Structure 1
Amino acid sequence: MSKDLRNLISTSKRIVVKIGSSSITTAQGGIDEQKLNQIVKAIAAHHKKAHEIVLVSSGAIAAGLAPLKLDSRPKDLTLQQAVASVGQSLLVNKYSQEFSKHGINVGQVLLTAEDMSRRSHYRNAQRTFNKLLEMKVIPIVNENDTVANDEIRVGDNDRLAGIVTHLIDADALILLSDVDGLYTAPPGNTNSKLITEVKDFTEINNLEIGGAGASGVGTGGMFTKVQAARISSAGGVAVLITDAKNLDAVLDGKNVGTIFWPKKAKLSARSLWIAHAADIEGQIKVDQGAAKALLTKQASLLSAGIKEIYGDFEDGAVVEVIDENQKVIAKGLIKFDSTELPKMIGKNSSKLLEEFGEGYEKEVIHRDDLVLSSDIVVDN
């Protein structure tokens, strides 16, 4: 069955390929032309077989280091943004040069967290991608590091690739790095073994999964790739993580890397946006009974089970639902704003109807607008 899934990835009509900084830049900074050309050659060959490919490419900051005579990734945000501005233009120019040798046009798409979190921006980005693919253009995607800040950013391109996969309704996601895939322990350990497939994420809950890569030029690592795999799997998309040098083999359906099985019960586009793209504007703490009802009965959230409200938000905002231990158990679209909810806490529907009239007796978050923790990536 694993072979069938690998073949499915290689034959997918629409594929997102994410490439890490270390796979296209040198350790000292600057573009590694040989590595980049190999990536372009593999993608171009597959593109000519009528496959639609979106390339999410890191490397803007790393590509800008050498031209600016910097020997390491800067820690200062303003300097990072300046370096990214220089590096991004060099990187896209190089991609354009190399793809043009194969008769392929590329289009630069720089995204911000706001583009993902605001529903109207999200849909506009969706239309742009679809038009580019319709014209047989390969979109080159990166987070807009020049304007993003620490508070308002997607955070890493692995996560961005997972979100873009759903944004364009892709069939598969390939995450390329400088390691062969997910291992049972850090790859340097003598007893470490490559995990060839993950059917359920509970299988890897106890693994020690590394953070940032060893190259020192990127922000991601295996941890962020597994997060991206969780995001995409929830939407019914197959994901494969492997070394960038294996891209040809992946696109040929060969047995390389770690493949993550898609969930059979995939989330809707609306639920995926709530779970992974929307801004979180507040939190609702619920009691033990409400938490159990949400997690085991897939119930709507009622005001009777609410204990506390955190944040200032309007009705229609996306909020986190947390239990009494501060653990995020769900995200959802709230039907009341933060000024109305406090007076509703702990009251059942009949009491609300009696005190405040029609409309207040309805659920606070309808179950169709609620995404449970098993389907979202959270930090706690």
Structure 2
Amino acid sequence: MNELVDTGKIWVIKIGSSLLTNGDGLAVDLVGHWVDDIVALRESGIKVVLVSSGAVAEGMGRLELTKRPDSIHLLQAAAAVGQMGLIQLYESNFKRHQMHTAQVLLTHDDLRSRERYLNARVTLRTLIDLNVIPIVNENDTVVTDEIRFGDNDTLAALVANLIEANTLILLTDRDGLFNRDPRLGDAELVESAMASDPDLKAMAGPGGDIGRGGMVTKVQAAQIAARSGANTVITSGLQSHVLRDLAQGNVSGTYLMADQPLLASRKQWLATLLPQGKLVLDPGAVNVLTTQGKSLLPVGVRKVFGNFTRGDMVSCVDADEQEIARGLINYSDVQSQAIIGKTSNDIESELGFVNEEELIHRDNLVLSL
């Protein structure tokens, strides 16, 4: 980009597995260079939280596994072994600069509780204020598929929401997002775009064998980060002093700008919760939710899927299965099934009681990007 950008003073930097590992283990020299840059950022007044992949890949190397395991238990074992080497490498490099690091392992369960969500926020902010570099990773050793973030791009975006970062930086082994697969030729770098641009996902491709992420997850991460106003940079971590250049406002790679209204803190938390069920809405309900900001009433719901109870998060989709919103529901799956398509006045006659006249109140509803 020719224009200088304001990257702000609070950054979340995510380093992917493809960068962190090579055929012989962790990329020790590269980590040293990134640490030098991060220390320079801190000295210039930029607060940094580092989200690092690489535990599973490092564990695979130590256990002499040539292919990413399919077994969840073997993956968790590899993560446990690899996390030791990963943190040791960061700790030793930051120690060269007399800086402390802190290991922070998270799962979706840690964000599902509002109290734990706020505790995580306070802890990260306190560490930053103490001039400590928090190093965040998914807790792969204990996580199950049901509470998995899925990839560290998503985790990094949620951390950006959590600490209200100005910029999310996704370091990868590519120069940025291209308008088509660079291996096919005639590909052009997407230098800048709005994070909500629907064409971006079509441009992105799948991830590799070592990491779980790819350009698709990076685009999704940019959209998640935009909820709290964070812009996203997708760039190559192989470039010399790429982080220092960004601190000067020089963006190489792809710059995805937040262009949606900021979500209130509580709604940012709601957006992190995993849906336990799904409601299929009629066109009228879709219109009411997306253009009028109203609550979801039973009359606007066509179908109910999943097993959930009062207070669980559910996804609201249109007839094409496109998620429109998600929110905390006031009735169980069985109760919801009994009242969908009916007016609020019919709830008591169907159930014998009334919790609320809405299936989901607008204060407990967040629109999807």
Same fold, judged at TM 0.5 (above)? yes
Is 1:24–2:20 an aligned residue pair?
Answer: yes
Which amino acid counterpart does residue 348 of structure 1 have in structure 2?
T
Q: Is the 8 A contact 1:350 1:361 kept in 2?
A: no
Structure-2 residue corresponding to 1:335: 330
Alpha-carbon distance, 1:39 to partner: 0.7
Alpha-carbon distance, 1:297 to partner: 2.7
Is 1:285–2:280 an aligned residue pair?
Answer: yes
What whole-Å deviation, never above 9, does each CA across 1:262-310 have from its counterpart, x for those lacking one?
Answer: 12511122222222x1121222222232223223333221112222322
Please point out which of 46, 52, 55 is paired with 1:60.
55
Q: Distance in 2 between matches of 1:280 and 1:30?
A: 37
Which amino acid counterpart does residue 256 of structure 2 have in structure 1?
F
Please point out which of 137, 140, 143 is paired with 2:135.
140
Q: Is the 8 A contact 2:339 2:346 kept in 1?
A: no
Partner of 2:203: helix, strand, or coil?
Answer: coil
The 5-angstrom pairing of residues 219-368 of structure 1 reads 219-244=212-237, 245=239, 246-275=242-271, 277-352=272-347, 359=354, 362-368=357-363
Q: Distance in 2 between matches of 1:206 and 1:82?
A: 33
Q: Is the 8 A contact 1:293 1:299 kept in 2?
A: yes
Stretches of structure 2 that go unaligned for 5 or more consecutive residues are: none
**Total equivalences in the alignment:** 366
What whole-Å deviation, never above 9, does each CA across 1:296-349 have from its counterpart, x for those lacking one?
Answer: 333221112222322332222211112334332210121223343333222223
Partner of 2:182: helix, strand, or coil?
Answer: coil
CA 1:353–1:139 in 2, change beyond 3 Å: closer, same or farther?
Answer: same
Structure-2 residue corresponding to 1:182: 177
Q: Distance in 1 between matches of 2:270 and 2:258?
A: 19
Which amino acid counterpart does residue 50 of structure 1 have in structure 2?
G
Alpha-carbon distance, 1:200 to partner: 5.0
Partner of 1:151: helix, strand, or coil?
Answer: helix
The 5-angstrom pairing of residues 31-70 of structure 1 reads 31-70=26-65
Please point out which of 139, 143, 149 is paired with 2:144.
149
Q: Is the 8 A contact 1:183 1:192 kept in 2?
A: yes
Alpha-carbon distance, 1:356 to partner: 7.0
Alpha-carbon distance, 1:235 to partner: 2.1
Partner of 2:325: helix, strand, or coil?
Answer: strand
Q: Distance in 2 between matches of 1:336 and 1:226?
A: 34
Partner of 2:183: helix, strand, or coil?
Answer: coil
Identity of aligned residues (%): 39
Alpha-carbon distance, 1:359 to partner: 4.8
TM-score (norm 2): 0.92
Q: Distance in 2 between matches of 1:286 and 1:31?
A: 48
CA 1:199–1:345 in 2, change beyond 3 Å: closer, same or farther?
Answer: closer
Structure-1 residue corresponding to 2:190: 195
CA 1:364–1:100 in 2, change beyond 3 Å: closer, same or farther?
Answer: same
Q: Is the 8 A contact 2:338 2:350 kept in 1?
A: no
Q: Distance in 2 between matches of 1:171 and 1:335?
A: 35
Partner of 1:193: helix, strand, or coil?
Answer: coil
Please point out which of 360, 364, 367 is paired with 1:369.
364
Please point out which of 199, 204, 208 is paired with 1:204.
199
CA 1:60–1:372 in 2, change beyond 3 Å: closer, same or farther?
Answer: same
Aligned CA RMSD, in angstroms, stands at 2.2
CA 1:33–1:370 in 2, change beyond 3 Å: closer, same or farther?
Answer: same
Structure-1 residue corresponding to 2:3: 3
Q: Distance in 2 between matches of 1:303 and 1:73?
A: 45
Q: Which moved more, 1:220-229 or 1:116-125?
A: 116-125
Structure-2 residue corresponding to 1:217: 210
Q: Is the 8 A contact 1:62 1:87 kept in 2?
A: yes
Alpha-carbon distance, 1:205 to partner: 4.5
Stretches of structure 1 that go unaligned for 5 or more consecutive residues are: 376-380
The 5-angstrom pairing of residues 41-190 of structure 1 reads 41-190=36-185
Which amino acid counterpart does residue 324 of structure 2 have in structure 1?
I
